[in-house]
């Protein structure tokens, strides 16, 4: 029994130190992709009303927000923002029955999220960092310590790191804003029946574009800076010893 328990403990420790790809992307998936994507799936694929689609897509951000407040005693910025957007949209969902206006109004969800992300960069607190950090740190204590030195300005690499950190959020803000514009233009220029399914294509395309551009422009350079900071930290420890 002891051996089994010990083996299980080692397995759990290894999983923490070497999380899977899904574990790395889980914060982004839960805070952005799932709520935003589920809204369009419920509405376009399952034919739900705008009100019902918004209500069901609010479940994940609502749970994440409440869990953060109760368990972690802090707010999850992305989850809270999406929840607020959905609640406001619910209150406005009884506006005009014009199908084109309804299609255009769908873009409001992603547009408010986009402006929220861009505003967080302007305020110096990039909102997408919470989703990116687990992907780069991977549960490694040395990387966690290096990350903290980089974001608090204690490293010579801090300036470059923070610029890339902001760039990551800017990319996602602009991609979601572009998706919003494409939806509005499409709502008034493309046949309604076509736009109903094409809107989902816009969303998927925006998500793929966001991952590709933000990865190459910001995530990969940040990963290199983080690795260099880890090496520097180990060198300082060796010298001190």
Q: Among 106, 118, 229, which Cα is nearest to 166's? A: 118
CA distance 187 to 100: 5
In angstroms, what CA-CA distances link 225 with 129, 131, 167, 215? 15, 18, 15, 14
Say what the pLDDT of residue 27 is. Answer: 55
Which stretches of the chain are DSSP H helices?
2-17, 21-28, 34-40, 50-57, 59-67, 77-92, 99-122, 129-137, 141-151, 158-189, 192-214, 220-240
Say what the pLDDT of residue 225 is. Answer: 92
List, run by run, the mean pLDDT of 10-residue segments along the chain (241 residues): 49 46 52 68 74 69 67 60 59 57 67 86 86 83 90 90 93 91 87 72 83 90 91 79 64
pTM for the model: 0.64
Q: Helices 129-137 and 158-189: crossing angle, nearest 10°?
A: 130
Say what the pLDDT of residue 236 is. Answer: 78
């Amino acid at each position: 029994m002891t051996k089994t328990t010990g083996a299980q403990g080692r397995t759990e420790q290894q999983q923490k130190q070497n999380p899977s790809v899904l574990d790395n992307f889980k914060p982004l998936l839960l805070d952005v992709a799932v709520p935003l994507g589920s809204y369009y799936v419920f509405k376009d694929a399952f034919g739900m009303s705008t009100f019902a689609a918004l209500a069901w897509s609010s479940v994940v951000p609502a749970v994440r927000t409440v869990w953060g407040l109760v368990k972690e005693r802090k707010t999850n910025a992305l989850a809270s923002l999406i929840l607020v957007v959905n609640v406001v949209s619910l209150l406005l969902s009884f506006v005009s029955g014009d199908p084109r206006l309804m299609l255009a109004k769908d873009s409001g969800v992603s547009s408010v999220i986009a402006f929220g992300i861009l505003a967080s960069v302007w305020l110096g607190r990039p909102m997408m960092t919470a989703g990116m950090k687990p992907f780069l740190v991977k549960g490694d204590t040395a990387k966690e310590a290096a990350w903290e030195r980089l974001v608090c300005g204690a490293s010579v690499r801090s300036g470059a790191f923070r610029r890339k950190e902001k760039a990551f959020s800017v990319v996602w803000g602009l991609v979601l804003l572009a998706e919003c514009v494409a939806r509005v233009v499409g709502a008034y220029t493309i046949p309604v029946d076509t736009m109903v399914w094409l809107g989902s294509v816009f969303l998927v395309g925006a998500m793929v574009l966001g991952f590709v551009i933000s990865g190459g422009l910001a995530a990969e350079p940040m990963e290199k800076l983080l690795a260099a900071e880890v090496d520097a930290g180990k060198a300082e420890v060796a010298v001190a010893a």
